[in-house]
A and B are shown apart, each in its own frame.
Chain A
Amino acid sequence: MDIFLQQLINSLSVASVTILIGMGITLIFGLAGIVNFAHGEFLMVGGMVTWLLVMAGVNFFIAMFGAMAAVGVLGYVAERTLFRFTLNRPMNGFIMSIGLSVILQNVVIKALNEVQKSIPDPIAKVWVIGGVDIIAMRAIVVAITVVVVAITYFGITRSRYGVALRASVSDQDTAALMGIPVRRYVTGVFIYGSVLAGLGGALMIALFPITPFTGSVVIIRGFAVSLIGGLGNVGGAVVGGLVLGLVDALSAQYGYPQWTDAYSLVVMIVILILRPQGLLGGTLGPRAT
């Protein structure tokens, strides 16, 4: 039982990173109508920026904000120079984002190298609660994720901006007539999702070493999470991330560990086929117009 609990808490911290990336994808895909396959690379870049800053002697938590800012700028540039022109043809945007992910991955390999990077534990403490060892950094990762999820959820469902955003998703023309700057909202959502990817990257490198190839592994999990939950649905992304995290933890402990990655892929294919709108329902993805 102790092992189970420990495994559960560990998988919760892994699920946190997955939730962050899934939330970014779900917002960008479901609300901005852009399928960004390079999102995993955004996360990887965030991790690499964190690594560079920490190696330069910056405190981890400051480096985290640095990574968020850097990836936010990256997202802004990508939206302005690339995705802006394919808003009416989501399919072309998707293919373009594949190109972008290839570019980012190889630029990072060229600028740094292919070797995996890791940073020393920002907080190397272990808390013992009721006989269960909890690694402090993992708990902090979970806490940060909880806060970010709460901010995003209330921002989208309760705030003025969230309401305006959802209005422009459900009816672009009417929203524009009501004075909502729809295009600016698209850019805004894209930047916000990218910032989340930067945060995810920073938290990820605090937990495990990452390589330039991490992005391509993470992206599939991110898509799985966002599609399982339903596009544009923040709560859905959390549920999706927890489901995947649990499946991983349990299969690593009780199943065949070498098939761990396969389970989440199978779960994703099955859900995509049976419920394309996601478990909790969401928008139908990029608009057809």
Chain B
Amino acid sequence: MSADQRRDAVTAPGFSLNTRKTGSSGWLERPPLDHIVMGVAILAFLIAFPFFNPGYRFLSLAITTGFTAIALYGLALQFGQAGIMSVGHAGIMGIGGYTAAILANQLGIGFWLALPASILLSALAAGLVGLPSLRVGGQHYIIITFCFCALLVIALTNGGDFTGAATGLDVGPIAGPFGINLAKLRNMYYLVMLALVVSLVLTYVIVHSPYGRTLWAIRENEPLARAVGINTNFHKIGVFALSGAFAGAAGILQTYYLRHISPPLYGAFPSLYLALMVMLGGARPLYGPLLGAIIVTFLPEVGGLDPIDSRIAYGVGLLLVILLLPAGVSGGLLGLYRSMIGRQRRAEKG
């Protein structure tokens, strides 16, 4: 697979956050003003959301959006930055979720101690699943990740009492610090949103750090990156592990939000939907994954669609996005925004 094709495969160039001035120095550049404004606006909205009295249904949808978006940020890192797509991401989430559930059921370990374990194990699993990508690329690798997901579901279903077989496992509520009751939906919302904001900031930092630039170099021209002394294999596995860590955090949050997990949650189809959301939202713009998660989670509710109709709608949406907006919805919006700004500037210049 040539570097050219890989770039084509991801998005049309020019819409990414990576189109920064080259030759910038310093560990992390200062974010431009419009990024800061956007970030503060989103943060304010996230904090204010429960005060609009959204009701139980919308608040729980918002929580679902939150942990889905966290997993999507991991996938976007892997797909958008390193250029490797996988349809096994729900499986990695499952590793995190089941780690937490098994720790809770076997050893009675609660959320806060299980959190690092889930993140670590998911990162490890993602790194392992990522190993074949060094040898086989493109569609072959996607099929391998698909097989991994299917295998995981079979293993979880046949795991007997340890994994709860087909019925799955239950967990208790999160023991909140300082007497905060996290069984209450609004407090759970704030916990998930905190995690979401952390992963947003982490994504921003990773993309704009020297590490992000290294990944960029690998994605654009792998032989060249290797020639200038970048250990491409190491960094690729690294990005898998990072993406797995996000998925692990998402998995444990999902487990403690649902309080009951079972194998079908982590099969091939949930993975496909995650891939779909990333494509729909756009993998490279910072808010793309969040937008994808919002669209997919809220569309059925807002549009009044039953689950089957909404799945058809996702499918059609995916086709339209690929054919018309290869950079995703957020990429399309970003392009529109930039062309408007450009026109304005040209008008000012006369």
A-to-B contact residues, CB < 8 Å: 29, 35, 82, 85-86, 88-92, 94-96, 98-103, 105-107, 109-110, 216, 220, 223, 227, 258-259, 261-262, 265-266, 268-269, 272-273, 276, 285-286, 288
Cβ distance A79 to chain B, nearest Cβ, rounded Å: 14
Q: Does B311 contact A (CB under 8 A)?
A: yes
B132 at the interface (CB under 8 A from A): yes
Q: Indicate if B204 sits at the interface (CB-CB under 8 A).
A: no
What's the nearest-Cβ distance from chain A to residue B285, in Å? 18
- Closest CB of chain A to B189's CB: distance in Å? 29
Q: Are B139 and A94 in contact (CB under 8 A)?
A: yes
Q: Does B37 contact A (CB under 8 A)?
A: no
Given contacts A91-B9, A92-B9, A285-B139, contact A102 B154 (CB under 8 A): no
B322: which of A99, A258, A268 is its contact (CB, 8 Å)? A99
Q: Could you tell me the distance between the alpha carbons of A91 and B119 in the complex, rounded to whole angstroms?
A: 30
Residues of chain A contacted by B314 (CB below 8 angstroms): 99, 102
Q: How far is the CA of A98 from the CA of B319 in the complex (A)?
A: 9
B272 A102 Cβ-Cβ under 8 A? yes
* B329 CB–A CB distance under 8 Å: no
A110 adjacent to B312 (CB under 8 Å): yes
17 A-B pairs within 8 Å (CB atoms) are namely: A29-B139, A86-B323, A90-B139, A95-B279, A99-B316, A101-B315, A102-B311, A106-B309, A110-B308, A258-B158, A262-B155, A265-B151, A272-B136, A272-B140, A273-B132, A288-B2, A288-B5
B202 to chain A, nearest CB (A): 26
The residue in B132, B136, B317 that gathers the most chain A C-beta atoms within 10 A of its C-beta is B136
Q: In B127-172, which residues have CB < 8 Å from any A CB?
A: 132, 135-136, 138-140, 142-144, 146-148, 150-151, 154-155, 157-158
Q: Closest approach, in angstroms, between the C-beta of A224 and any C-beta of chain B?
A: 8
Q: Is the CB of B154 within 8 A of A262?
A: yes
Inter-chain contact total with CB atoms closer than 8 Å: 127
B302 within 8 A of A: no
Q: Which residue of A lies closest to B10 (CB)?
A: A91
Counting chain B CB atoms within 10 Å of each CB, the highest count among A98, A216, A265, A273 belongs to A98
Cα–Cα distance between A261 and B322 once the two chains are bound (Å): 32
Please tell me if B75 contacts chain A, counting CB pairs below 8 Å: no
Indicate whether B275 reaches chain A with its CB closer than 8 angstroms.
Answer: yes
Q: Quick one: which of B295-325 are within 8 Å of A by CB?
A: 308-309, 311-312, 314-319, 322-323
13 other A-B residue contacts (CB within 8 Å) besides A98-B87, A276-B136? A35-B139, A92-B9, A92-B326, A96-B318, A99-B315, A99-B317, A101-B315, A102-B272, A102-B318, A106-B311, A107-B312, A261-B154, A273-B132
Q: How far is the CA of A29 from the CA of B139 in the complex (A)?
A: 10
A107 to B268, CA, bound (A): 19
Q: B158 touching A220 by the CB < 8 A rule?
A: no
When chains A and B are docked, how far (Å) is the Cα of A7 from the Cα of B279? 45
Residues of chain A lying within 8 A (CB to CB) of residue B318: 95-96, 98-99, 102
Give the 4 A-B CB pairs with smallest separation, nearest first.
Answer: A99-B318, A103-B315, A91-B9, A102-B315
Contact of B147 among A109, A265, A285 (CB under 8 A): A265
Contact B140 A285 (CB under 8 A): yes
Chain A's closest residue to B83 (CB) is A91
- Give the distance in Å from the alpha carbon of A288 to the alpha carbon of B5 in the complex: 6
Cross-interface CB contact of A269 among B144, B312, B316, B322, cutoff 8 Å: B144
Let me know if B69 is at the binding interface, CB within 8 A: no
Q: Which residues of B contact A266 (CB under 8 A)?
A: 151
The residue from A89, A109, A216, A273 contacting B9, defined by CB atoms under 8 A apart = A89
- Which residues of B are found within 8 Å of A285, using beta-carbon distances? 138-140
Give chain B nearest CB distance to A240 CB in angstroms.
14
> With A and B bound together, what is the CA distance between A86 and B319 in angstroms?
11
Interface bits B257-285 vs A (CB < 8 Å: 1, else 0): 00000000000110010011001000000
Contact (Cβ within 8 A) A227 B143: yes
Q: How far is the CA of A96 from the CA of B326 in the complex (A)?
A: 11
Contact A272 B319 (CB under 8 A): no
Cα A90 to Cα B144 in complex, Å, equals 17
B315 in contact with A220 (CB, 8 Å): no
In the bound complex, residues from chain A placing their C-beta under 8 Å from that of B148 are 269
Q: Indicate whether B1 reaches chain A with its CB closer than 8 angstroms.
A: yes
- B85 at the A interface (CB under 8 A): yes
Query: Are A220 and B136 in touch, CB under 8 angstroms?
Result: no
Most A Cβ at <10 Å: residue of B4, B140, B151: B140
Which of A85, A103, A227, A268 is the one whose CB lies under 8 Å from B312? A103
B140 x A227 contact (CB < 8 A): yes
- On whether A220 and B150 interact (CB within 8 A), knowing A95-B275, A106-B311, A273-B135, the answer reads yes
Contact B158 A223 (CB under 8 A): no
With the chains together, A275 CA to B179 CA distance in Å? 57
- Cβ of B29 < 8 Å from any Cβ of A? no
Residue of B nearest to A91 (CB): B9
Residue of chain B at shortest CB distance from A287: B5
Complex: A265 Cα to B151 Cα, angstroms: 7
Give the shortest distance, in Å, between B223 (CB) and chain A (any CB). Answer: 14
Query: Most chain-B CB neighbours within 10 Å: which of A102, A106, A110, A285?
Result: A102
